[in-house]
Amino acid sequence: MAKVIVNQFGKRSFGGAAGAYGNTTVLHYQLQTNASGAVVNSNSGAALAIGDVVDLGPLPEGIRPFDSIAVISDALTASVTGSLGFAYEDGVDSSDVPQDAAYFGAGIVLSAAARLRNSSSKALVTLPKPARLILTIAGAAVAEAGKVDIVITGELTGPR
């Protein structure tokens, strides 16, 4: 199992208002693979394999994520699925809000063009510390070019 880190610099934005109690936030992440299945603009030239964890970028401390949308505009290899969730930057779990590699869903079909909303019914949480959005590859190895945009919508409540 490899950990692949995607460079998302300059691709993410947020904004919006939700009154005096916080800010509506939209965070955009992108996974793009080349013809051999390796992640473009990442720390690895190897094709994604089953069990690989793709670090898509940061989730700030104090975010309360409401929803996720995965837009598969260029499908990955046949049978590729994934789990979308989060892991804490420091690698230390929280007893109040445990890290969850499938918080936004498991078995997400990445092998067909689609627009997929969050498939999880898990309770809303507020992240107590900085985390990373992670996608864990399952089903099959990635062996071709593809593109997946992931949008996380939530509320920035500030550090706890």
Domain count, the chain: 1
Q: What is the pTM of this model?
A: 0.90
**Dihedral angle computed from the Cα positions of residues 160, 12, 10 and 144, in that order, rounded to the nearest 10 degrees:** 130
Q: CB–CB of 60/22 below 8 Å?
A: no
CATH number at residue 70: 2.60.120
Task: Return per-residue pLDDT of the chain as tens, 160 residues.
Answer: 788 888 865 555 555 555 555 578 899 999 999 999 999 999 999 999 999 999 999 999 999 999 999 999 999 999 999 999 999 999 999 999 999 999 999 999 999 999 999 988 899 999 999 999 999 999 999 999 999 999 999 998 877 6
Residue at 13 is within a domain: no
Q: How far apart are CA 111 and CA 147, in angstroms?
A: 10
Domain with 124 in it = 3-8+21-156
